[in-house]
Structure 1
Amino acid sequence: MTDEIRVLLVDDQELVRYGFRLMLNAMPGMLVVGEAGDGAEAIEAARRLEPDVVLMDVRMPGIGGIEATESITRLRPETRVLVLTTYDLDEYAFGALGAGASGFLLKDTRPENLVAAIRAVHSGDAVVSPRITAKLIEVAAPHLATRAAGGRDSGGGSAGDAAVDDALDDLTAREREIFVLIGQGATNAEIVEALHLSESTVKAHIGRVLAKLQLRNRVEVVIRAYELGVVGA
């Protein structure tokens, strides 16, 4: 029982919650511990039930999914929020990720992909649909390029490199490696393979990277890596 991923379902449609509950409870290592029909109920349920992962709808009456996500991730940073929505709109994706969600998927995602996503965010990975990731970088790139240019001198010498060094000065060499790999979209398993480290060691390094750079999740690491020019758009 202790190894089960505890899931809270949040959706204003009871039939949708029923379907997800049947599917997830049939999966090994998954346990639906509660349900909520709106954001206010979700916040209270997260506080009371202490789930590992929240499957969060976006559009609900009263307090919506994005506001609820922000409250839950603030009150319980250890709880991961995976946003599921019917609406393939950029403002929902960006709003959810900005609120601290660890992932954003559409409700037509295949069941096996949803289960894999739950396991991924529970282990500390971020899960964002490829279209949203591409759009995120597309929208952010001009802004990030302008900010990066502001840190370079007119001679175009090593000022940009110096700015990166200053920003990452608190990271060890290993933590810098992991920062770059996360920025490139590597999962924990891929980092383990690339650096020949144990999963627990990788998780510990990631935790220190987030803490030192004052970032909330892996999505913010990706944005920071693009901002510093460590990985290219």
Structure 2
Amino acid sequence: MSGAVRVLLVDDHPVVRAGLRALLGGCPDFDVCGEAPDGATAVRLARELAPDLVLMDLRMGTGMCGVEATRHVVRLPAPPRVVVLTGYASDAYIVRAVEAGAAGYLLKESPPDLLLQSLRTVAAGESALSPAVASRLMNRCRAPRTALTAREIEILELIATGRSNRQIGSALFISGTTVKTHLAHVYDKLGVENRTAAVRAAVDRGLIQLDAPETALPAQLG
């Protein structure tokens, strides 16, 4: 790629965007062409500004999340490559981001030099993962029969919010019977017998991440 790599920054925290702009501004091979505080704005600016890379946060309050924004961005006529930059390293987020089309998945705790190197790698047409993320994906490949699917992870996250099978089915546009089938597979893969144990096992293994991890799970879910 000739010339500076044009980067669109997407994060709901102005301080994070300012820090990234300052970091990239010190490198002549990068040019920050725009900033977006949410997913919908990110999609619009990706269409209008035609960046080479989009550095995408995943969770940005209400509205379109980073995964959905990534899905829209990579479908543009001349799509930029999307690199996720987040503080979440659970399987749930990694699987969804990769399936949405992200070419990179980096953690906000990454050293600046690793972040810059990874962006250059993705701009060159390759993929880049933080070491912890690469390790998780490798573990999923080594044990495909016990790895939860993206749908199973979605169901577990909804169970963790206390929703019933009917409510989960309504949220995912599937039947309650289908939810039960997915749960049976989850129980088998995690070696548990009920919903509460499934959520606990998923949290312990880093498959899902609760909004308030310090809060104890209820004795019985649903």
Q: Flag whether TM exceeds 0.5 (same fold).
A: yes
User: Residue 92 of structure 2 aligns to a residue in which SS?
Assistant: helix
User: Residue 40 of structure 2 aligns to a residue in which SS?
Assistant: helix
Q: Deviations over 1:174-224 (max 9, x none)?
A: xxxxxxxxxxxxxxxxxxxxxxxxxxxxxxxxxxxxxxxxxxxxxxxxxxx
Partner residue in 2 for 1:126: 127
User: Residue 55 of structure 1 aligns to a residue in which SS?
Assistant: strand
CA distance in 2 between counterparts of 1:40 and 1:87 reads 21
After TM superposition, which residue ranges in structure 1, 4 or more long, deviate above 3 angstroms? 140-145
How big is the shift at 1:31?
0.5
TM-score of the superposed pair, with normalisation by structure 2: 0.61
CA RMSD of the aligned region, Å?
1.7
Q: Structure 1 residues 52 and 91 mapped into 2: Cα distance closer, same or farther (>3 Å)? A: same
CA distance in 1 between counterparts of 2:34 and 2:132 reads 31
Q: How many residues align?
A: 144
Unpaired runs of 5+ in structure 1? 146-233
132-141 or 85-94, which moves further after superposition? Answer: 132-141
How big is the shift at 1:133?
2.0
Q: Is the helix fraction higher in 1 or 2?
A: 1
Partner residue in 2 for 1:117: 118
Q: Deviations over 1:69-111 (max 9, x none)?
A: 0110111554111101112212111111111000101001111
How big is the shift at 1:15?
0.8
Q: Deviations over 1:4-52 (max 9, x none)?
A: 0000000000111011111101112110000000000000000000000
Structure 1 letter corresponding to 2:21 = R
Q: Deviations over 1:134-169 (max 9, x none)?
A: 222322444379xxxxxxxxxxxxxxxxxxxxxxxx
Partner residue in 1 for 2:76: 75
Unpaired runs of 5+ in structure 2? 147-222
CA distance in 2 between counterparts of 1:90 and 1:76 reads 30
Partner residue in 2 for 1:101: 102
CA distance in 2 between counterparts of 1:111 and 1:94 reads 24
